[in-house]
Chains A and B, each alone.
Chain A
Amino acid sequence: MPVTTTRDTSELREIAKELRVQIIRLLVEAKSGHPGGSLSEIDILTCLYFGAILRYRPDEPSWPERDRFVLSKGHCTPGYYSTLARAGYFPDEWLMTFRKIGSPLQGHPDRTKGPGVEASTGSLGQGISIALGIAIAAKIDDAPWRTYCMVGDGESESGQVWEAVMSAPKFNLDNFCVIVDNNQVQQTEPVEKIMDLAPLADKYRAFNWHVVEIDGHNFDEILAAFDEAAATKGKPTAIIAHTIKGKGVSFMELSPAWHGKAPSAEEGERAIAEILGGTK
């Protein structure tokens, strides 16, 4: 049974709000995990899973015709699991077991445990190569499904990312779409300070990718970018999504301190109030 999807951006905005609340709730419960990159990726994941972009069947996770999504920045599981739960892969209650002993929802994605998890990741730089392999497999079989991969901007410092970026155009992978969650901050510092990636879009262009630059929190732009990727023939598409790490919770926004730390119960309440208050 496919989940209900919508192209109405105000509905999508409401879904994203709901998912942001889940992210905070499960982090408070787990007492550890990564809020910053989960809050920055969530509008994009919302469009992928609920904006009629990704084709999937939650009651049949290994449906052969499904589109594939690989979370290469594997630490951002709070956003990913909240999305998968809402998509119907598992009950919401599971989110409260995140990172606990015996839970299918491991700290980093584990495809052998978490329903809907396409690839086990968590060592940065590797997920994009796995996704590339999946896309090549589809090309060999002339299969209709598409492969999406979310990569971090900090992660993009890794040489393996560029090996994958270099290889994808060779195989004319128009079934492959990489989204860079360009949220400006990595674990310890702003990306610009650790290793300036600019001009990132030009780097992808130089490697013969089709490139779309968007505001990764603008639902119209996200949906349009995915449509453009699907319509692009002969080459892979990179969506450079300009986002804000910690988006939606003012005290977390663009702060390295909130890369990998769970909010306390009190901080969580403040965060949720802010998210629901709708202060943009």
Chain B
Amino acid sequence: MAATATRQAFGDALVKVGSDPRVVVIDGDTKNSTFTELFAEQYPDRFIELGIAENNMLGVAAGLALSGKIPWAATFSTFIVGRLEVVRMSVCYNEANVRIAGTHVGVGIGDDGASQMALEDIAALRALPNMAIVQPCDSIETHHAVEYLTFEHVGPAFLRLTRQKLEDVHQEGYRFVFGKADQLRQGTDVTLIATGALVQEALAAAKALDGEGVSAGVLNIHTIAPLDVDAIVGAARSTGRIVSAEDHNVNGGLGSAVAEAIAEAGIPARLVRVGTRAFGESGSQEELYDRFGLSATHVADAARSLMG
């Protein structure tokens, strides 16, 4: 399949799960950006447009969930974390089965620039004790995640989605297991632990390293919370060298989660965190991945810095 933005795969997947009449979708005037417009066309009676009013949107989602609906609230991720206390109180503390889709994550969104780029959403939501955080790395994984979160998951959940297109990493027949890391590649020298858009960068980096005689494993962390601590600790134990990679601030994101897991297990491993450390800015995705140190080259460089 051609490269697809995970936001688009989400829109397609919503139409599929929409055949269940409990599924309701809520929009904040961004349905053509989040692709929930596909659901709106198919199921107009279960599509709720609340306008540019995200506090209300998230509270309404909680109310719908408490009344037996399966609500998906979708908008740009940064506008969701902007309403963190509503997510905390109305959604999480109520144990409301709300599904939130946050799109336009990371500097990968490009031209729009800093104000639209969510670089803190994982950090903020990870502090909520019962919030599941899932970040798929391709279209196939997105379909599985939407299906799982819609029908099987109990408790609040957040799905982190890209604006930019991502290569397919998985094949049809891939089995997505919530909460279990996905080992994409075995390696003995270093493990690249990546999430979302950085998974394809990590795979490219592993290939480059291979050519230099460095054996790099790649672990796809699609479920950031609850984290598969065993897989991360296992990787730290077996390779002793870890690179975490995410299009998000290194503080509080996957890099922090990995550091916590390794430190708490008391494993003597070395870690380099690839991720952002500043606000974003305007530019193309490629230019920004270069400027913010997120491209395959940077992931490979991080691994090289651990060798020798």
Verify if B115 is at the interface (C-beta below 8 Å from A): yes
Residues on B with beta carbons closer than 8 Å to the beta carbon of A100: 282-283
Residues on B with beta carbons closer than 8 Å to the beta carbon of A124: 52
Cα separation A13 to B32 with both chains bound (whole Å): 34
- Given the known inter-chain contacts A187-B32, A194-B29, please indicate yes or no for A122 contacting B113, CB distance below 8 A: yes
Structural contact, A120 and B52, CB atoms closer than 8 A: no
- Given the known inter-chain contacts A101-B284, A106-B282, A123-B79, please indicate yes or no for A187 contacting B29, CB distance below 8 A: yes
Q: How does the 8 Å CB contact mask read for B100-117 relative to A, with 1 for contact and 0 for none?
A: 000000000011111110
Chain B residue nearest in CB terms to A109: B115
Verify if A92 is at the interface (C-beta below 8 Å from B): no
Cα separation A188 to B29 with both chains bound (whole Å): 6
Structural contact, A157 and B51, CB atoms closer than 8 A: yes
Residues on A with beta carbons closer than 8 Å to the beta carbon of B33: 187
Verify if B82 is at the interface (C-beta below 8 Å from A): yes
Verify if B287 is at the interface (C-beta below 8 Å from A): yes
Structural contact, B111 and A154, CB atoms closer than 8 A: no
Chain A to chain B: the 6 pairs with minimum beta-carbon distance, closest first: A122-B115, A101-B283, A107-B113, A157-B51, A195-B51, A108-B115
Structural contact, A110 and B114, CB atoms closer than 8 A: yes
Verify if A32 is at the interface (C-beta below 8 Å from B): yes
Structural contact, A195 and B115, CB atoms closer than 8 A: no
Of the A-B pairs whose beta carbons lie under 8 Å apart in the complex, a sample of 12, sorted by A's number, is: A101-B284, A106-B114, A107-B112, A107-B113, A107-B282, A122-B112, A122-B116, A125-B52, A157-B29, A158-B52, A187-B29, A195-B50
Most A CB contacts (10 A, CB to CB) among B32, B55, B111, B284 go to B111
Q: How does the 8 Å CB contact mask read for A173-210 relative to B, with 1 for contact and 0 for none?
A: 00000000000001111000011000000000000000
Most A CB contacts (10 A, CB to CB) among B56, B82, B113, B288 go to B113
Residues on A with beta carbons closer than 8 Å to the beta carbon of B37: 188
Cα separation A273 to B110 with both chains bound (whole Å): 30
Cα separation A125 to B29 with both chains bound (whole Å): 14
Smallest CB–CB gap between A220 and chain B, Å?
32
Determine chain A's interface SS by DSSP, over half rule: loop
Residues on A with beta carbons closer than 8 Å to the beta carbon of B284: 101
Q: Which residues of A contact B (CB under 8 A)?
A: 30-33, 74, 99-103, 106-108, 110, 120-125, 154-155, 157-159, 186-189, 194-195
Q: Which of A74, A101, A123, A154 contacts B288 (CB 8 A)?
A: A101
Residues on B with beta carbons closer than 8 Å to the beta carbon of A194: 29, 49, 51
Chain B residue nearest in CB terms to A256: B32
Smallest CB–CB gap between A223 and chain B, Å?
30
- Given the known inter-chain contacts A30-B111, A108-B114, A194-B29, please indicate yes or no for A103 contacting B282, CB distance below 8 A: yes
- Given the known inter-chain contacts A155-B52, A194-B51, please indicate yes or no for A120 contacting B283, CB distance below 8 A: no
Smallest CB–CB gap between B11 and chain A, Å?
14
Q: Number of contact residues on B: which range applies?
A: 20 to 34
Chain A residue nearest in CB terms to B50: A195
Cα separation A121 to B114 with both chains bound (whole Å): 10
Smallest CB–CB gap between A194 and chain B, Å?
5
Structural contact, A101 and B291, CB atoms closer than 8 A: yes
Structural contact, A32 and B29, CB atoms closer than 8 A: no
Residues on A with beta carbons closer than 8 Å to the beta carbon of B110: 32
Smallest CB–CB gap between A205 and chain B, Å?
22
Cα separation A131 to B56 with both chains bound (whole Å): 23
Smallest CB–CB gap between B278 and chain A, Å?
12
Structural contact, A74 and B115, CB atoms closer than 8 A: yes
Structural contact, B29 and A154, CB atoms closer than 8 A: yes
Q: Which of A106, A158, A188 contacts B113 (CB 8 A)?
A: A106
Cα separation A110 to B82 with both chains bound (whole Å): 18
Structural contact, A157 and B114, CB atoms closer than 8 A: no
- Given the known inter-chain contacts A187-B29, A188-B37, please indicate yes or no for A107 contacting B53, CB distance below 8 A: no
Structural contact, B113 and A123, CB atoms closer than 8 A: no
Q: Which of B52, B281, B283, B287 contacts A157 (CB 8 A)?
A: B52
Verify if B31 is at the interface (C-beta below 8 Å from A): yes
Structural contact, B56 and A108, CB atoms closer than 8 A: no
Verify if B78 is at the interface (C-beta below 8 Å from A): yes
Most B CB contacts (10 A, CB to CB) among A30, A102, A121 go to A102
Verify if B215 is at the interface (C-beta below 8 Å from A): no
Cα separation A149 to B116 with both chains bound (whole Å): 21
Structural contact, A99 and B111, CB atoms closer than 8 A: yes
